[in-house]
Amino acid sequence: MKLAIAQINCVLGDLTANAAKILRYAEEARLAGVQLLLTPELSLCGYPPEDLLLRDGFLAACQAALSELASQIHGVTVIVGHPHEVDGRRYNAASVLRDRQVAATYHKHFLPNYSVFDEERYFDCGSAPLVFELAGIRFGINICEDVWRPEAARQARDAGAQVLLVLNASPYAVNKQASRYDALRQRVSETGLSVVYANLVGGQDELVFDGASFAMDNAGKLTAQSGVFAEELSLLEMSCDAPAGKLTVLPDRDAGVYRALCLGLQDYIGKNGFPGVLLGLSGGIDSALTLAIAVDALGKDRVHAVMMPSPYTAQISLDDAREMVNILGVQYDEFSIEPILQDYLTTLRASFSGRAEDTTEENLQARIRGNLLMALSNKLGSLVLTTGNKSEMSVGYATLYGDMAGGFSVLKDVSKMRVYRLARYRNTQSYAIPERIITRPPSAELRHDQLDQDNLPPYEVLDAIMECYVEKNLSIPDIVAQGFSDADVRRVVRLIRGSEYKRRQSAVGVRITERGYGKDWRYPITVRYQDGY
């Protein structure tokens, strides 16, 4: 028999469009001779629906959409993910649609309640397996978290399943695919079942779903691999209970991260109906990489770059910014903020009297730029992209209501050293970022002869400590034990903890690590505890 994976990009809450897409894929699969089509987790409503699930009207609309979709399915069996309410209890469910009706429904057994997941807030746990037969083969169903533990897959096997169908909404993170392979191979080893794994694709707020759906035989050998960051109908043939299909080569780490950032931005802009984006171009590497990603994600005609030099802006920054916008062909404005800065300083002169210049004057420049960008956004309707990276957001090296002003942060979860790697990767595809932007020392250019490392440890050190503390959750003594100086570790951790109030006011941004500053980082602002002291 033939089966297929519908690796689709759903719009959260657009039940009509999602159902229509599932129906189109079902018809395409039927015409290709497919008998069984598998869709991702909660594909009918999109993932994660969060507190929409607490609204009775949303659940009723999902049920009505499922019934309407089922009435149109014929000639192919379709497994659809959806929320399901029974006797006042809500479930993360998957239904078997065949012969214009809902033939059976499975309820997810294990609910993730860690990292970016809050499913225990919304759903009850199922307990019964679901096995159905098609073309002489018995298929069991699991949903995402179910296969990260042994019990649900074993239940399916004990109920007679020969092949395990797994619906997933598994967000992208660096090295996530290897973890998925490991988990599924463990389930295959325990049960002897072959596996078909369908994953969601697309951006949803800070999350990006990479797709990368796959199949394994009952020995754990990869027998089919879909592509990443794009919708796809993957056709598989069943042979001796083992699904097999095309084996797509997945991109390497830098290419994968770059594509994740592009898709996250593309879907945030597209799904929220913005006509385009604005960003402040500084001549530095962060804004340069953000500009390149914006053009690749949206096209040059939807990107508007603005250069706002101050008295401290180097000529090479102007030259490099002009070169880049000429290479990429985006709309470009350039205007000096010096007259506005002088007006601000004149207005504040009496209040500042007797006090030396400090970061106040630096922050004024950033806030003037933020105001100008937001004015352009109000007038033109385009969304302002902030250009700060994860290293800066960690230690608070950013100005509230200045360079933090904007609606979306492409590099929010991208460390400074990874910014450099991604810039070099982008230039291997075609020349976009002037080489001098990549090689010159980073500077905020808010005072004369300023360099980032006047105020921060070298980024190689900062990023490594940040990864240990933020992403691996290590304590100060544990980080010091890895060879970092006690002074550097304490300094970086102190800056991270002291910058929480800024991060709470920062724009949402694409998550590409296992722990970003979003749904999976929940630290108090007002707190006196600090480990390691």
Whether 48 and 16 have beta carbons less than 8 Å apart is answered as: no
Q: How far apart are CA 361 and CA 359, in angstroms?
A: 5
Instruction: Identify which of 8, 27, 5 has the alpha carbon closest to the alpha carbon of residue 18.
Output: 8
Find the helix packing angle between 459-466 and 416-429, rounded to 10°.
110
CB atoms within 10 A of CB 439: 9
Q: Is-contact 186 524, C-beta < 8 A?
A: no
Three-state DSSP state, 201: strand
Q: Which helix (H) or strand (E) holds 105?
A: strand 101-107
CA–CA distance, 218 with 180 (Å, rounded to integer): 16
Q: Tell me if 505 sits within 8 A of 409, measured CB to CB.
A: no
Phi then psi for 329, rounded to 5 degrees? 75, 30
* 237: annotated active-site residue: no
Closest CA to 411 of 525, 507, 302: 507
Catalytic residue selected from 41, 119, 232, 445: 41
The Cα 270–Cα 14 span in angstroms is 14
Three-state SS at 102: strand
Identify whether 108 is a catalytic site residue.
yes
Among the listed residues 93, 155, 162, the one whose alpha carbon sits nearest the alpha carbon of residue 129: 155
What does the alpha-carbon distance between residue 372 and residue 81 come to, in Å, rounded to a whole number?
Answer: 45
**Residue tagged active-site, from 144, 206, 390, 471:** 144
Query: Is 144 annotated in the active site?
Result: yes
The CA-to-CA distance between both ends of the chain, in Å, stands at 63
Q: How far apart are CA 507 and CA 408, in angstroms?
A: 5
Alpha helices in 253-333 (DSSP H): 253-271, 285-298, 315-328
Can you list the pairs that 284-287 forms with residues at least 24 positions away whose Cβ atoms lie under 8 Å? 284/317, 284/437, 284/442, 284/443, 284/445, 285/419, 285/420, 285/423, 285/433, 285/437, 285/438, 285/442, 286/387, 286/388, 286/389, 286/392, 286/411, 286/419, 286/442, 287/387
The one catalytic residue among 2, 21, 108, 176: 108
- How many whole angstroms separate alpha carbon 418 and alpha carbon 139? 43
Give me the active site residues, please: 41, 108, 144
